[in-house]
Amino acid sequence: MSNRFLLKNKTILITGASSGLGRSIAIECSKMGAVVVISGRNKERLQDTYDNLIDPGKSQIVCDLTNMDSFDALCEELPQLDGVVMCAGVPNSTPVRHISDIIMREVFEVNAFANFKLSRFLIAKNKINKGGSVVFVSSVASNRPYVGNSIYSASKAAIDSFAKVLALEVGYRKKIRVNCISPGIVPTKANDSAFSDDDLANQENKIPLGFGKPVAIANGCIFLLSEASEWITGIDLVVDGGQLL
């Protein structure tokens, strides 16, 4: 039986796979038959993700995308790819009056520039096969303001715009598709935010389908990576349980 929602025999790179959403996306892709290549900054946690992957063709590359040597090493090791999920990112909640130059740079280095640089490399070196799929993990934060999110939101909005232009540039000839996925609120660790558990419960109650699970985001990525979405490019797939309604 052929199933166009599967990722059988597709080689997929997932960045930011050592924690949170990236970890789940990598594991779920491997369950759908993908040969998964993962990268991440934290060696131990990346190993944990690796140990949970199913496909025997899996591989892992420890990489800090913001470090030039580390970035070059990743590029050298990468095989030909059918898909990429750019999930490397850092959160940040700093009110505008307290944003330092360091915070601005750190957040944009990871969330925006690292993804842009990796995209440039993959396209320039023809690392993505014809008909391949690129997925940027954006956030509903790029469209929905929330106090403390200015730099984070701006970095995700930068991704949204970049992705659309890239979609235009690589669509015509190579038929590579480029899309964003915008997760809503998906708790991936214990509540360590400035919000109390009661605040979070109130917030969750305002979302029609409540908070999400990482697998819900992974499923969206799988769709965008699979042939089932072969005529979809340049979109932002919002997976937020109705938060933006």
Give the residue with the Cβ less far from another protein, 190 or 245: 190
152 in active site: yes
Least distance in angstroms from the C-beta of 151 to another protein: 12
Polymer length in residues for the chain = 245
Shortest separation between residue 149's beta carbon and another protein, angstroms: 10
Distance in Å, CB of 91 to another protein, minimum: 12
Give a three-class secondary structure readout of the chain: CCCCCCCCCCEEEECCCCCHHHHHHHHHHHHCCCEEEEEECCHHHHHHHHHCCCCCCCEEEECCCCCHHHHHHHHHHCCCEEEEEECCCCCCCCCHHHCCHHHHHHHHHHHHHHHHHHHHHHHHCCCEEEEEEEEEECCHHHCCCCCCCHHHHHHHHHHHHHHHHHHHHHHCCCCCEEEEEEECCCCCCCCCCCCCHHHHHHHHHCCCCCCCCHHHHHHHHHHHHCHHHCCCCCCEEEECCCCCC
Nearer to another protein, 81 or 140 (CB): 140
User: 47 or 94: whose CB is closer to another protein?
Assistant: 94
Q: Residue numbers of the site for another protein (CB under 8 A)?
A: 93-95, 97-98, 100, 147-148, 190-196, 199
CB of 186 to another protein, least distance (A): 17
Kindly tell me which of 157 and 200 has the beta carbon lying closer to another protein.
Answer: 200
The pair of three-digit structure tokens given for residue 25, joined into one six-digit string: 């996306």
| Residue closer to another protein, measured from CB, 60 or 155 | 155
Name the catalytic one among 50, 146, 152, 172. 152
Q: How far is the CB of 95 from another protein (least distance, A)?
A: 5
Beta-carbon contacts of 25 under 8 Å, excluding residues fewer than 6 positions away, are: 14, 17, 85, 87, 137, 214, 217, 218, 221
Catalytic positions = 152
